[in-house]
Structure 1
Amino acid sequence: MNLEHRQRRHRTRVDWGLRGAEAIASDADIAVIVDVLSFTTTVSVALDRGIGVVPHAGADTEEVARRHDASVAFRRSQSAPGRITLSPGSIRSARDVPARLVLPSPNGSTIAEAMAATPVLAAASLRTATAIAHWIARTAGPDDSVAIIAAGERWPDGSLRPAIEDFWGAGAVVAALAAVGRLLDPSPEADAAQAAWTAVADDPSTALRDCSSGRELIALGFDGDVAVAAEVGESAGVPILRQGIFVDARSGGLSA
């Protein structure tokens, strides 16, 4: 990998997908994954309901669930009344919820599992960007670097489809870090993400409904999931990965 692609001259970095995560987070103190529609939004809703989330790429799901004493979320295409899926609405409406949930997804969850060895790994959405920035400002070292990864989606051939909602989400994290005085030496990529978020911050609901991924979910009947994703700043939870499970960081410090 070209060393210049790692953004190591900067302490606040932004890039795309698993390869971007490998590039900018390999030496970062804190990595933040953003998958607005819907993995990291669903993680935030789960934590709000007291559910720990196990990220997993999808293979050997039952074995991962046994190891963590967790239930397994169904695919969104298998939605039915009472079933918990990748849909944040399914968790919000569920009458009975598990203590732990394996939540497979091909993007945010896959990246989170791959980046599990990062010293601190957070899952950010528009619902949690502000809370995560405040937590970083309170607990991170003065020189700690932050790598923010816009998860993106996939084209039918499996290649990365840069999804604008994740760039907005990454920009929301950058903007929140700036607001709390913790935006250190941002890369041009981080500046661009913040500018993209600023352009839609006055009406994120419309932006999410109009973008390609939002229109896809609406066409599939998941209007409610797009609405949940647009709940800017509505969660005080700080999802971080500890021993393979996303939990609320407010229960402790930076160490896993």
Structure 2
Amino acid sequence: MINPYAQVGYRIRCDWGPIGGDAVGPGAQIVAVVDVLSFTTALTVAADRGVEVFPYRWRDDRAVAFAERHGAMLAVGRSQVGPDAPVSLSPATIRSCAGLTRLVLPSPNGSTIARRLAEQGATVIGVSLRNARAAARWAARQLGPDAAIAVVPAGERWNADGSLRPAVEDLWGAGAFVTGLSDEGVGGLSPEAEVAAASYRQVAARVGEALRDCASGRELIQYGYPEDVDIAAEVASSTRVPVLDGERFRPVDVP
């Protein structure tokens, strides 16, 4: 039997989180991971600076050894940033850190999805509101005539039980990318992809305000990181696409 969750028959497929990615990713030529607050926004800020980013599932002793092996800085938790550890998942710290060339960026959702789907043979890219248009242009040029592309909004995790919390900002980022693909002439949207595109169109004219007022935006602002929300709202400001090449995301310029 055909897996009903795989959205087979559609060129542009969309589902949530690691499990959703496992459903729609197999067989797709390209997988776009979308984690607007903040993994893929951080990726695009790093790409703009030419920084190589190594995604890692967890921030633990293994991540420390991994960073040392690759001669990279290890991102710490936002609250742990200081003179000896200047970079976290916060895009603002990546933008301001002098001399940064290689970064290990742990993220339980965004990094996990990227690594899992790359292991299945897909070309994985990082997409945020900052680079959704450029990423769509790049993907449309790479996509074979009958090939599919999977879009995976990462979502968040509820602290209470670790279950997936669909995060509306990731739906908007996915929708911006899907809209860009449509503008590039790539059709065949699944109903799930259509919903993402419609969601983005609803807020496109006021996306900065919407990001600040959504639950994830309010959370970051409440904890003292409003600049991260502002950076995430820099729509179409980046023309670079982070493409996962082995263990690292490398920045690709999109004319």
Q: TM-score range by the shorter chain?
A: over 0.9
Does 2:172 correspond to 1:168? yes
After superposition, residues 5-154 of structure 1 pair within 5 angstroms as: 5-58=5-58, 59=60, 60-80=62-82, 83-97=86-100, 99-117=101-119, 118-154=121-157
CA contact (8 A) 1:129 1:172 kept: yes
* CA distance in structure 1 between the aligned counterparts of 2:50 and 2:105, rounded to whole angstroms: 15
* CA distance in structure 2 between the aligned counterparts of 1:116 and 1:100, rounded to whole angstroms: 20
* CA distance in structure 2 between the aligned counterparts of 1:199 and 1:219, rounded to whole angstroms: 25
Residue 205 of structure 2: aligned partner = 202
- Out of 172, 181, 194, the residue aligned to residue 185 of structure 2 is 181
CA contact (8 A) 2:15 2:192 kept: yes
* CA distance in structure 1 between the aligned counterparts of 2:31 and 2:199, rounded to whole angstroms: 20
Q: What letter matches 1:52 in structure 2?
A: E
* CA distance in structure 2 between the aligned counterparts of 1:20 and 1:102, rounded to whole angstroms: 25
Residue 158 of structure 1: aligned partner = 162
Calculate the TM-score normalised by the size of structure 1. 0.93
Q: Secondary structure at the match of 2:188?
A: coil
CA contact (8 A) 2:239 2:253 kept: no
* CA distance in structure 1 between the aligned counterparts of 2:191 and 2:142, rounded to whole angstroms: 25
* CA distance in structure 2 between the aligned counterparts of 1:86 and 1:11, rounded to whole angstroms: 32
Structure 1 unmatched ranges of 5 or more: 252-256
Q: Secondary structure at the match of 2:129?
A: coil
Q: Secondary structure at the match of 2:28?
A: coil
* CA distance in structure 2 between the aligned counterparts of 1:4 and 1:49, rounded to whole angstroms: 41
Residue 224 of structure 2: aligned partner = 221
1:2 Cα deviation (Å)?
Answer: 7.6
CA contact (8 A) 2:25 2:122 kept: no
CA contact (8 A) 2:129 2:236 kept: yes
* CA distance in structure 2 between the aligned counterparts of 1:170 and 1:20, rounded to whole angstroms: 14
1:139 Cα deviation (Å)?
Answer: 2.3
Structure 2 unmatched ranges of 5 or more: none
Distance 1:215 1:8, change over 3 A: same
Q: Percent of pairs identical after alignment?
A: 49
Distance 1:168 1:67, change over 3 A: same
* CA distance in structure 1 between the aligned counterparts of 2:2 and 2:220, rounded to whole angstroms: 36
* CA distance in structure 2 between the aligned counterparts of 1:206 and 1:200, rounded to whole angstroms: 9
Calculate the TM-score normalised by the size of structure 2. 0.94
Residue 254 of structure 1: aligned partner = none
1:11 Cα deviation (Å)?
Answer: 1.1
How many residue pairs end up in the alignment?
249
> Deviation string for 1:3-61 (max 9, x for gaps)?
10111121100100000000000111110000000000000001111110011111410
Q: Secondary structure at the match of 2:36?
A: coil
CA contact (8 A) 1:116 1:244 kept: no
1:69 Cα deviation (Å)?
Answer: 2.5
